[in-house]
């Protein structure tokens, strides 16, 4: 990891939904750094065969950093991180985390915050809401999930938001009419989305159809890097060839090969891991590069992106 690691002890693990476990972490012989609403930490997990690094939002009120709480959903298409957290991590274990980083802070000047959360995508908003309540700013949450799998924290949200919480359980055939919700939002509203890509796209599409400027729409696609076809990366400066396996990200493979690539989010958002590309057909999966940069193919974000060709050459 690029930032200094912090050793934390897992003091409590609770089930907060059928497929979501909440972990409480406290610093080992140190106090934890303070954080702002919307922050996340990267958790490093020492698996048997490899090291997993996953980003998790901090759930607690940002006024209290005596402990960190994170929620982990057992992912259906997991590359191992969430399975490791669910099955191998026990109370009393020590893990490494990065200091908190914030790539999804709310717009503090907004007159109203309108939130769409899908499943475990509720997590970054858990730290927003106490601060919104303290500031007395208008906040409306539309929370969509499958009750047989996710849907954590409904009670606490109900207590906090009361009539401005709207719950949709797809397992009970409850659906959110996103367009209807967006239609009459007053000036000064900012819209936040966290959840599956389909939700992000759905809200953006509805906004476009309604003529709502995309500059008021903010999203955090929490999708972890997806597996893909194996390929080889050649390092131009040394000639070294690194194999990227089906379940590895390019960044993980480079790190395992001893190459230190700066990184922050490991989710294709921050742009820190950007590598120059000498040659190769790329499968861009990040949200950092623009469409024209992607089609140019001169840069790649190895934390999420892959190759379409068998081999690519990185100019690093």
Cα–Cα distances in angstroms (integers) from residue 132 to residues 37, 125, 136, 285, in the given order: 10, 10, 6, 33
**Which entry of another protein, ligand FES, none binds 101, CB below 5 to 8 A by partner kind?**
none
By the rule CB under 8 A, 184 interacts with another protein: yes
Question: Up-side HSE of residue 8: CA atoms within 13 Å toward CB?
Answer: 31
For another protein, the closer of residues 42 and 203 by Cβ is 203
Residue 273 binds which of another protein, ligand FES, none (CB < 5-8 A, kind-dependent) = ligand FES
187 binds, among another protein, ligand FES, none (CB under 5 to 8 A by kind): another protein
SS3 of residue 87 by DSSP: helix
Contact 306, 283 (CB under 8 A): yes
Q: Residues 161, 265, 277, 300: which binds ligand FES (CB under 6 A)?
A: 265
Tokens of 131: 């601060």
Residue in 219, 227, 221, 315 with CA at minimum distance from that of residue 268? 221
Q: Is 268 in the site for ligand FES (CB under 6 A)?
A: yes
Query: Rg of the chain over CA atoms, in angstroms?
Result: 20
Which of another protein, ligand FES, none does 178 bind, CB closer than 5 to 8 A by kind? none
* N-terminal to C-terminal alpha carbon distance within the chain: 18
Q: Which of residues 35 and 132 has its CB atom nearest to another protein in the complex? A: 132
By CB under 6 A, tell whether 263 contacts ligand FES.
yes
Residue 314 CB, nearest distance to ligand FES (Å)?
A: 14
Q: How many CB atoms lie within 10 A of CB 303?
A: 28
Half-sphere exposure of residue 237: CA atoms within 13 angstroms, side-chain side? 5
202-231 footprint of another protein as x/- string (CB under 8 A): -------xxxxx-xx---------------
User: Looking at beta carbons only, is 141 or 242 nearer to ligand FES?
Assistant: 242
Name residues contacting another protein, limited to 103-122 (CB under 8 A). Answer: 110-111
d(Cα 108, Cα 241) in Å, to the nearest integer? 47
288 contact choice in ligand FES, another protein, none (CB below 5 to 8 Å, kind-dependent): ligand FES
Q: Using CB under 6 A, which of 122, 144, 254, 264 touches ligand FES?
A: 264
- Regarding 180 and contact with another protein (CB under 8 A), the answer is no
Binding to ligand FES by CB under 6 A, coded x per residue (else -) over 215-254, reads: ----------------------------------------
| Stretch of 77-85, 177-185, 198-206, 270-278 contacting ligand FES, by CB under 6 A | 270-278
Dihedral of the alpha carbons of 283, 289, 293, 299, in degrees to the nearest 10: -70
Residues 71-90 that bind another protein (CB under 8 A): none
Cα–Cα distance for residue pair 316/309, rounded to 1 Å: 19
| Among another protein, ligand FES, none, residue 186 binds (CB under 5-8 Å by kind) | another protein
At closest approach, how far in Å is the CB of 242 from ligand FES?
Answer: 17
CB 35 within 8 A of CB 128: no
CB contact at 8 A, 123 and 194: yes
Please name every residue paired with 13 in a beta bridge, in sequence order, or none if there are none.
Answer: 23
> Containing H/E element for 129?
helix 123-135
Distance between CA 293 and CA 299 in Å, rounded?
A: 7
Does the footprint of ligand FES cover residue 275 (CB under 6 A)?
Answer: no
Secondary structure letter of residue 34 according to DSSP: P
Binding site for another protein (CB under 8 A): 110-111, 182-189, 209-213, 215-216
Binding site for ligand FES (CB under 6 A): 263-266, 268-273, 286, 288, 301, 303
């Amino acid at each position: 990891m690029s930032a200094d690691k912090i050793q934390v002890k897992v003091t409590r693990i609770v089930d907060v939904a059928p497929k979501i476990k909440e972990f409480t972490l406290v610093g080992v012989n140190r106090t934890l750094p303070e954080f702002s609403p919307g922050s996340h930490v990267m958790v490093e997990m020492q698996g048997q065969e490899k090291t997993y690094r996953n980003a998790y939002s901090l759930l607690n009120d940002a006024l209290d950093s005596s402990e960190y709480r994170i929620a982990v959903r057992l992912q259906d298409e997991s590359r191992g991180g969430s399975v490791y957290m669910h099955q191998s991590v026990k109370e009393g274990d020590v893990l490494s985390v990065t200091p908190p980083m914030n790539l999804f802070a709310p717009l503090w000047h907004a007159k109203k915050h309108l939130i769409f959360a899908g499943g475990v995508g509720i997590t970054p908003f858990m730290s927003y809401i106490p601060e919104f309540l303290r500031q007395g700013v208008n906040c409306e949450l539309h929370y969509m999930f499958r009750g047989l799998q996710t849907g954590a924290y409904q009670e606490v949200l109900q207590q906090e938001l009361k009539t401005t919480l709207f719950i949709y359980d797809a397992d009970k055939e409850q659906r959110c009419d996103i367009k209807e919700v967006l239609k009459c939002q007053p000036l000064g509203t900012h819209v936040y989305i966290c959840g599956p890509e389909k939700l992000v796209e759905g809200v953006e599409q509805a906004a476009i159809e309604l003529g709502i400027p995309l500059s008021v729409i903010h999203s955090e696609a929490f999708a972890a890097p997806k597996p893909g076809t194996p390929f080889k990366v050649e390092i131009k400066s040394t000639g070294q060839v690194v194999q990227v396996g089906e379940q590895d990200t390019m960044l993980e493979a480079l790190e395992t090969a001893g190459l230190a690539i700066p990184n922050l989010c490991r989710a294709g958002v921050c742009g820190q891991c950007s590598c120059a590309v000498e040659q190769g057909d790329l499968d861009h999966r990040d949200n950092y590069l623009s469409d024209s940069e992607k089609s140019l193919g001169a840069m790649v974000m190895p934390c999420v992106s892959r190759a379409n060709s068998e081999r690519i050459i990185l100019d690093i």
